[in-house]
Amino acid sequence: MPKEGKGDNSFGIASVVLGIIGSVLGALVLPIIISILGLIFGIVQLKKEKNAWAIWGIVLSILGIIISVYIIYLTVTTLSNLSQIMQTCQADPTAPGCEVFASALGV
């Protein structure tokens, strides 16, 4: 049973836990969903009762979202650059850097 005078912190605690999970596992796509849920729980807790759990949950969830978006950006950029290098090397195998690229691929 909750103590008198103390509010229910369940949404705030859930927000902190989801924010930590989202921040630590930010290299995967799924943690962005986890972080968004953590952000929602933190906002719900903040509206119910403003406390440290809600604030830290929101901060950690936003951090998890930022890390996930940055990792997705890096992945898309790297794959795009790799595609351009492959097209260049297919068109002209003697182009600079194609020997290194081909040896890295084992071709």
Q: What band does 4 get if pLDDT is binned at 50, 70 and 90?
A: very low
Please answer whether residues 20 and 39 qualify as being in contact, where contact means their C-beta atoms are separated by less than 8 angstroms. Answer: no
Question: Would you say residue 107 has pLDDT above 80?
Answer: no
Asked whether residue 8 carries a pLDDT value surpassing 60, the answer given is yes
Domain boundaries, the chain: 10-105
Q: What is the pTM of this model?
A: 0.76
User: What is the predicted pLDDT for the residue at 41?
Assistant: 94
Q: ∠15-53-19 over CA atoms, to 5°?
A: 30
Which of the pair, 101 or 96, is modelled with greater confidence?
96
pLDDT above 70 (res 6): no
pLDDT at position 97 is 78
Predicted local confidence at residue 52, as pLDDT:
92
Q: CA 67, CA 73: separation in Å to the nearest integer? A: 10
